[in-house]
Structure 1
Amino acid sequence: MSTPDPDELDRRSMQRLAAGDDAALDELMERHGPAVYRLLLGLLQNPEDALDLAQETFVRLYRARARFRRTDRLVPWLYTIATNLARNRLRWRQRHPTISWESLAGEDRADPVPATPSTPQTASSPADQLMTEERLEAVRRAVAELPASLREVVVLCEWEGLSQAEAATVLGTTVKGVESRLYRARQILRARLQPWL
């Protein structure tokens, strides 16, 4: 027996959710919660905000369940909700800057930028492993320093694997706009990561 298409599973779950079966939301959260959290973490650079907005994303999904069309794909729809929430949070942060207790105390925070999906898990020697970790840290830092509009396309297209058309839908722009942002982001990253290339 073949496994059902993930998009078809999502559509069935959304139909059940719209019909009043709240257990379908649990299934959707289990299937997509980690990816939504990872997306938000990449956009916000803050684990607490990412967790908070991941939960809010599914609250919004639940509220909008009747508007989901059978022909839609859930992942871009869900990422659109999450990305809009992240943009709102980033705007709020700009208007309400704060200083964390950790930074005042000089404590290091955990690195909030996720590793790229192709992160090698093993290296042949301790020196290779150290080099790999340093390279990944440089990539994380470089992506975290990108302007938000460029970081969005890198996280969506490179880390989450969305097509440029899907990313354009999520970001409310055109495919050409996504291509342009990706091009600029890659140029900046290439310049910042030159010692590692």
Structure 2
Amino acid sequence: MLVSAADDRQHLGELADRFGPAVRGFLARRLSNPADVEDLSQEVFVRLSRHDDLKGISNVEGYILQVAANLLKNRYRTTSRTLTVVPFGLGPVAHQEAEAASPERILMDKEALAGLLRALAELPERTRAILILNRLDGLKAHQIASRLDISVSLVSKEMMRAAAFLRTLDL
């Protein structure tokens, strides 16, 4: 079946309308500069427009977010000195070279880190372990489930629990 270019553009537009906010949110949680968020969001859909068979993608949302993650990794690799990645749970952090960090900034960062460590200590042991395996070790839910001998569903629930708890804190 031949698909016209107009159909492809319309489908791409629908995907951008449907998943654009999720892509921008995904990137905004990892970048501090709104211009970088917009640039990478647009690049996600530019890359998607180059895909030969958009309708043939079985998990469109997963595919789109993977494209965004890959672009973020590539951008970070090429501009690691100027691009600011936002650590999980700490909110936007200004990018500064270590030599140029002010004493106030260092104190604020130390206090934020101490607050995060206190918050982690308040989490139940399994929830804390899952959060650390995911955020620090970079393991996916199925890998954590296998390592801790629990279900993937339970891993997801514990991650949501940890994220909700951390959002309630004033870090």
* TM-score, normalization by structure 1: 0.43
* TM-score, normalization by structure 2: 0.48
